[in-house]
Amino acid sequence: MAVRPVLRMGHPLLEQVAAPVTEFGTPELQALIADMNDTMRALNGAGIAAPQIGVSLRVVIFEVKENPRYPHVKPVPYTVLINPVLTPLDDEIEEGWEGCLSVPGMRGLVPRLRRLRYRGPGRGTAESSTGRSRASTPASSSTKSIISTAFSIRDASAICATSASKKSCSGG
């Protein structure tokens, strides 16, 4: 599809709570996901949320694998989350250095919950509570399949790498 410009920290759209997706399996949603994927890969990102490319919808994609920005990471399979709901599994916090496509060239030490569960209609790969990948179980994007996953947030830190995108990723 297309590599879109990434909004930078401070843009008003990144400060808003993104709207929930209400229509699934539409050509527009498929095009948005394709554009997000193209943009994330072109910039060697580990994840991106729709608001980062100017679309105020609760859609986030991520895939963690070795690339120039993340040369020594544990892989996390390609995942698309739509209207994700994040639930902490415990109170353990872990700090790690993270970057964000909306804050290019900078990294920060960010505290994150060590384990959480995400749930929502989407497509991707389910994982166990230890963060190790299970067999790939893609869900049809034209159905409202629920992906419920528990994982180590350090393994997929790009979900909400900055405070500006946290609202967009988690819905609040």
Residues with Cβ within 8 Å of residue 119, at least 6 apart in sequence = 84, 85, 87, 146, 147, 148, 149
- Residue 73's pLDDT band, with cuts at 50, 70 and 90, is confident
The Cα–Cα gap between 83 and 132 comes to 23
Between CA 76 and CA 64 the distance in angstroms is 5
Asked, for residue 64, whether it belongs to a domain, the answer is: yes
**Position 5 in a domain:** no
In a domain, 159, yes or no: yes
Q: pTM of this prediction? A: 0.71
Domain carrying residue 83: 12-170
Residue 3 lies in a domain: no
Helix (H), strand (E) at residue 98? strand 93-100
Residue 7 lies in a domain: no
Name the average pLDDT for the chain: 75
- Give the chain's domain count: 1
Is the residue at 165 inside a domain?
A: yes
Q: Are 37 and 49 in contact (CB under 8 A)?
A: no
Q: How much is the average pLDDT of 145-167?
A: 37
**59-68, 134-143, 151-160: range with highest mean pLDDT:** 59-68
For residues 70 and 62, the model is more confident at: 62
- On whether the CB atoms of residues 103 and 6 are closer than 8 A, the answer is no
**CATH code (residue 73):** 3.90.45.10
Residue 126 has pLDDT above 70, yes or no: no
Lowest model confidence (mean pLDDT) among 54-68, 77-91, 113-127: 113-127
- Identify whether 1 is part of a domain: no
Contacts of 126 (CB under 8 A, 6+ apart): 134, 137, 147, 148, 149
Residue 6 Cα distances to 1, 101, 167, angstroms = 15, 7, 17
Q: Is the residue at 74 inside a domain?
A: yes
* Beta-bridge mates of residue 87: 117
Output Rg (C-alpha) for the chain, integer angstroms: 15
Cα angle value 133/137/141 (rounded, 5°): 130
**Confidence at 116, pLDDT banded by 50, 70, 90:** confident
Confidence of residue 72 (pLDDT cuts 50, 70, 90): confident
